[in-house]
Structure 1
Amino acid sequence: MKNILLVLLSFFVISCDGQDLKKNKQKNLPKMDKNNLEYITFGGGCFWCVESCFNMLNGVDTAVSGYAGGHKDNPTYEEVCTGETGHAEVVQIAYDPKIISYEQLMDVFFFLHDPTQLNRQGNDIGTQYRSVIYYKDDAEKLKAEKEMAVSEASGRWQGKYVTEISPLDRFWPAEQYHQGYYNENPTQPYCSAVVGPKIQKFKKHYGELGMLRPE
């Protein structure tokens, strides 16, 4: 009986310690400086999954679904889906570089999609689903090229990367119903079959690295 009580007491202490560690970890999170945010824009297939995952990262203020790279002003989702606007489905991320780095964001980007597929991701086919990184200046272009080379050399994906690296002309936010789409529609067939499994894989990998916001 005494041994059983000792085991139960030990379990209680360990549980309390775990809760305290979790609380302390949350308290020790650096505070985001919203006055000094930087932006990065890229496309990796359907923006529902990409946006949802980046919004879970500590250090990311917002991840907004939208369109970029085309010739049509104020494009609609239906127009972009035709593949005739030249736009890609992209996500623009506002982040605090003191909490999460450009390099870490690039690592997540290459984790979330297959950069060896040209103008497609799985069954999503068309130039609007192309793998693309948009840069704001020459310095950022060099950083993008470096990070792509690092990822390609890592062997994470088999084959040559076809990710486009282009200057950002303008980012057009997508319609409001696309923002946070997965969170609002997790049982939608495409979300449950494609987006959901990707998000779970992402949460497991980056959760273990301690990069996710506490839930």
Structure 2
Amino acid sequence: MNNKNIQLATVGGGCFWCTEAVFQEIKGVENVVSGYSGGKVPGHPTYREICSGLTGHAEVVQITFDANIISYKDILVIFMTTHDPTTLNRQGADRGTQYRSVIFYHNEQQKGVAKTVVKEVAVYYENPIVTEVSALDMFYEAEAAHQNYYQNNKTQGYCSFVISPKLAKLKKQHANKLK
């Protein structure tokens, strides 16, 4: 008998390579797909178009998780504490609307949880949280080269200097949630 409660979460916290690597480490997460959401330009965008900042899309990940193992709220708490939700359209050296902090909710229940989590974690930050909470319209899967990026490129400079420290922070802050 299958006792799984499979749900989706879609979030953007800067570069999707970082966010993907974080959630691939979490118990109950079955799949993480890098992609794009939140833009106003029709059609399936490309990475090059997204990087221009002209499409309005954000780099996001869509997380498939078993809510019997990890809750949507826990997913969002991990998300909000493994990137900087106080910088508008920026994460580290990555700048532009494509790198904004955003939670795309899939239903009204997720919307309520998202707003609650944003409010609850705000007390831990010196600056105001700028994370956008919006309804998911469309999710476009990114090109194959962007999937499992950290796993496939651990020795690449960006992975060593940006993603590896995020994973170390994750292990320190959320050890009980790791696979």
Common fold by TM > 0.5 = yes
Segments ≥4 residues shifted beyond 3 Å:
none
* In 1: Cα distance, 2:7 partner to 2:27 partner: 14
Q: Is the 8 A contact 1:32 1:59 kept in 2?
A: no
**Equivalent residue for 1:77, pick from 47, 72, 77:** 47
Whether 2:156 is the aligned partner of 1:199: answer no
Cα distance, 1:158 vs structure 2: 1.4
Within-5 A mapping of 1:49-198: 49-72=18-41, 73-153=43-123, 155=124, 157-198=125-166
Name the stretch that deviates more: 110-119 or 191-200. Answer: 191-200
Pairs aligned (count): 177
Structure 1, unpaired ranges of 5+: 1-30
Higher share in strand: 2
Report the CA distance between 1:32 and its aligned residue.
7.0
How far did residue 52 of structure 1 move? Answer: 1.0
Equivalent residue number for residue 178 of structure 2: 212
TM-score by length of 2: 0.94
Q: State the shift of 1:175 in Å.
A: 0.6
Which structure shows the bigger proportion of residues in helix conformation?
1
Q: What TM-score results when the alignment is normalised by the length of structure 1?
A: 0.79
Percent of residue pairs bearing the same amino acid type: 49
Name which one, 1 or 2, has greater alpha-carbon Rg: 1
What is the distance in 1 between the residues matched to 2:163 and 2:61?
A: 15
